[in-house]
Structure 1
């Protein structure tokens, strides 16, 4: 009994990090575009790690380089947002695009995902079409806060802990 639970947990960890697992569960008649894409783009563990590191480093570099153009909010917004998208996409190399989308749409983090994606769209809209420096910086701050909240959704109990700390810090009743 304990060995079955341990094997099950080990298989779940293998799936989470993108290792090859027996995929006989897929029914050929129910295969979707994402399933077909995942099967055609099967990467080895080494290739997944290289893809993750490359995409993550590129995203981090774009995010850090965006600080060089901080006083030009339009260039900053585009570079910062592109860096965030690359960093977010890097995890798809580890767990696969289907699992990435499934995890993003999980009921626990659906609102965080929606706010994060909406803030990306708002930041790009303010930078590319509105050309208002104040609105672009405000949208970037919203995007950064949404990124933090989205990231905290992957750490168990992190969002509730941060919420309690924020309430304690801003509680005006003595």
Structure 2
């Protein structure tokens, strides 16, 4: 465990920009405990998303479980980099639109499922949520969104 802590924290030197130290004021979890919490939260999110497939015939239950699993999976990284850093990264100019669309789709999916009780709207909202999550996730991979955009333009270009 000491070797893991040293490799994560960069040896014996202390760095100002270390994300582990930044979130220390919010919680007193060690780096190993944070990784366990990240893994547990990610696994719980994936389990919720998997269980949502079992109740796919009931779109309202599906939407609630799937959305909860999505939020858990995305939020799990807050254990690794800290909630403040995660929010700063989410609202970074590169991904602010992707974040807004993803959060909006999550809210719309829950409204369609819990308040409107419309199966068709719930399924459409979940499809939009999945697409928004993929686009949001691609924003963390350098040049990925540009490559996907170029691929879509090439695939669906109808000029002869």
- Any residues of structure 2 matched to 1:2-151 within 5 Å, and which? 15=18, 18-20=19-21, 38-151=24-137
Return the offset for 1:19.
3.2
CA RMSD of aligned residues (A): 1.8
Structure 2: stretches of 5+ with no match in the other structure: 1-14
Alignment length, in residue pairs?
147
4+ runs deviating over 2 angstroms: none
Cα distance, 1:40 vs. partner?
Answer: 3.8
Q: Secondary structure at 1:19's aligned position in 2?
A: helix
2:8 is matched with which residue?
none
Q: Is the 8 A contact 2:20 2:82 kept in 1?
A: no
Per the TM alignment, residue 71 of structure 1 is displaced from its structure 2 partner at its CA by 1.0
Q: Which runs of 5+ in 1 are unaligned?
A: 1-10, 24-34
Give, in angstroms, the shift of residue 43 of structure 1.
1.9
Distance 1:114 1:124 in 2: 15
1:165 is the counterpart of 2:121 = no
**TM-score between both structures, scaled by the size of structure 1:** 0.80
Measure, in 1, the Cα distance between the counterparts of 2:69 and 2:61. Answer: 12
The Cα offsets for residues 130-149 of structure 1, whole Å up to 9 and x where unpaired, read as: 11110000000000000000
2:6 is matched with none
